[in-house]
């Protein structure tokens, strides 16, 4: 199977689409596909061949952020006990959610979350498993449960109360 080199213009088009989408998302939380195509200077067809769904585009836009979030889980586990690591990781998620609301939108129920190997779910699983071994976090909690609970971060009103609500959630996941 011969490796086929993608045309140079195709490569730059794809990169420009992602860059433009990222910029559009800094001003508003909406992302009209036609607006992305126009701002990127490509036809709608080009946009859709690169990213068949908006979820796919969002996943690409926030890939770097998600990678950082996922990578921070083992780092925190190396420096703290599992319960503290989990609590700190939740704060990381909240910080990302505050700055870039779209991260959560991409995360929940989309390509990222529904994919076979959702990296975020993997990070949560790791933290939960450590807490279970330690005996500080409830053994009957799955990554799915945590993802559902974190969904509140995507609501606009969440910003002010995020920290407090995370405390309540964390309190609920600890063993009594």
Partner DNA sequence: ACCTGAACACCGTTCAAGT
Q: What is the DSSP letter of 96?
A: H
On the 0-12 / 13-18 / 19+ scale of CB atoms within 10 A, 67 is exposed
* DSSP, residue by residue, 4-36: -PPPHHHHHHHHHHHHHHHHHHHH-S---HHHH
Cβ-based neighbours of 43, under 8 Å, separated by 6 or more? 37
Q: Is 49 in the site for a second copy (CB under 8 A)?
A: no
Cα–Cα distance, 91 to 88 (Å, whole number): 5
Record the tokens describing residue 114, joined without a space: 């529904």
In the list 108, 132, 134, 136, the residue contacting a second copy (rule: CB under 8 A) is: 108
Q: Does 7 bind DNA (CB under 7 A)?
A: yes
Tell me which residues in 9-28 interact with DNA (CB under 7 A).
Answer: 9-10, 13
Stretch that binds a second copy, among 19-27, 57-65, 115-123, 155-163 (CB under 8 A): 155-163
Q: How far apart are CA 88 and CA 38, in angstroms?
A: 40
Question: Using the rule CB under 8 A, is 53 a contact of a second copy?
Answer: no
Under the criterion CB under 7 A, does residue 146 sit at the interface with DNA? no
151 binds, among a second copy, DNA, none (CB under 5 to 8 A by kind): a second copy
Nearer to a second copy, 99 or 168 (CB): 168
CA gap 85, 88 in Å, rounded? 5
Is residue 163 near DNA by the rule CB under 7 A? no
Q: In the set 23, 53, 144, 163, which binds a second copy (CB under 8 A)?
A: 144
Q: Which residues bind DNA (CB under 7 A)?
A: 4, 6-7, 9-10, 13, 31-35, 37, 41-46, 48-50, 52-54
Q: Which residues bind a second copy (CB under 8 A)?
A: 108-109, 138, 140-141, 144-145, 148-149, 151-152, 155-158, 161, 164-165, 168-173, 176
């Amino acid at each position: 199977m011969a490796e086929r080199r993608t045309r140079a213009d195709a490569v730059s088009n794809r990169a420009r689409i992602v860059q433009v989408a990222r910029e559009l998302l800094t001003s508003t939380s909406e992302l009209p596909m036609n607006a992305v195509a126009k701002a990127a200077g490509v036809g709608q067809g080009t946009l859709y061949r690169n990213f068949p769904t908006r979820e796919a585009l969002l996943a690409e836009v926030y890939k770097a952020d998600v990678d950082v979030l996922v990578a921070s889980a083992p780092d925190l586990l190396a420096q703290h006990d599992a319960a503290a690591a989990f609590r700190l990781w939740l704060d990381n998620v909240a910080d990302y959610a505050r700055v870039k609301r779209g991260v959560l939108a991409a995360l929940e129920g989309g390509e990222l979350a529904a994919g076979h190997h959702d990296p975020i779910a993997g990070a949560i699983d790791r933290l939960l498993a450590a807490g279970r071994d330690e005996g500080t976090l409830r053994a009957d909690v799955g990554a799915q449960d945590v993802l559902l609970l974190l969904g509140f971060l995507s609501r606009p009103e969440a910003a002010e109360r995020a920290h407090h609500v995370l405390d309540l959630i964390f309190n609920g996941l600890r063993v009594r």
